[in-house]
Amino acid sequence: MLTLYGQYMSRAQRCLWTLEELGVPYQHVKTNQTLGESRTPEFLKINPNGHVPALKDGDFILWESMAIAMYVAKKYGQGSLWPASVEDEGHVMQWALWASLEVETFVVNFLRHAMLYPPEKRRPELAEEALRVLPAPLKVLDDALAGREYLVGNRFSVADINVSTVLLLADVHKHLGVDTFGNVTGWLQRVADRPAWQKLPSLK
């Protein structure tokens, strides 16, 4: 039995989505990082970084949400969420790193400093930086999706999960001008229509 630690409104979202897509039996231990539940001595034995999500598969422990999603997809989703060719595997990893390095930091900064944090904690310059920086990588994503429904092999895969959850978290994409990128907008709608994504709010 797999055990996933983390809450729905966190980076654990992409791991939950991957598990639900594949129908893999798992236990969901709701661990709220904001409330300090990831800083207990018990949890720090699982992830010494004190962050969610974390995954236990028997004696095997893994942290980092994109790594977890790819691990689950490769172990349980060969031929569906995980691609068959080495070249497509490379593209799955490429898009995970791209999302993490080019997009996610700026999206999270905007989410925190324009929407979530109380006014006294906000740093408006970080939200403004996100709005200034993000159009360039969004153009890269839009161009990559031209004439395609999905990112890798033109079929839905863990690459789509890892990248789209960056923009779908708390519907932040609605505030970032994503609607000016037609290919990205259509792709987000396609992935968000999937039953496994629609089920996630019930896992809160």
Give tens-digit pLDDT for 95-123: 999 999 999 999 999 999 999 999 999 99
Give tens-digit pLDDT for 70-84: 999 999 999 899 999
Total-model pTM:
0.95
User: What CATH number is associated with residue 96?
Assistant: 1.20.1050.10
- Per-residue pLDDT for 170 more than 90? no
Cα 168 to Cα 152: distance, rounded to the nearest angstrom: 19
Query: What is the reported pLDDT for 46?
Result: 96
Q: In this structure, are 116 and 179 located in the same domain?
A: yes
More confident residue, 204 or 53: 53
Q: Work out how many domains the chain is built from and give that number.
A: 2
Q: In this structure, are 34 and 107 located in the same domain?
A: no
Q: In this structure, are 90 and 179 located in the same domain?
A: yes
What does the DSSP 8-state code read for residue 84? Answer: S
Cα 112 to Cα 181: distance, rounded to the nearest angstrom: 23
Q: In this structure, are 181 and 102 located in the same domain?
A: yes
Q: In this structure, are 7 and 63 located in the same domain?
A: yes
Give tens-digit pLDDT for 173-202: 999 999 999 999 999 999 999 999 999 988
Give tens-digit pLDDT for 34-48: 899 999 999 999 999
Give alpha helix (H) positions in the chain.
Answer: 12-22, 41-44, 65-76, 86-98, 105-110, 124-133, 135-144, 158-168, 182-192, 195-199
CA atoms within 13 A on the CB side of 45: 3
Q: In this structure, are 38 and 13 located in the same domain?
A: yes
Q: In this structure, are 48 and 108 located in the same domain?
A: no
Q: Which domain holds residue 65?
A: 2-80
**Do strands 54-57 and 26-29 pair parallel, antiparallel, or not at all (unpaired)?**
unpaired
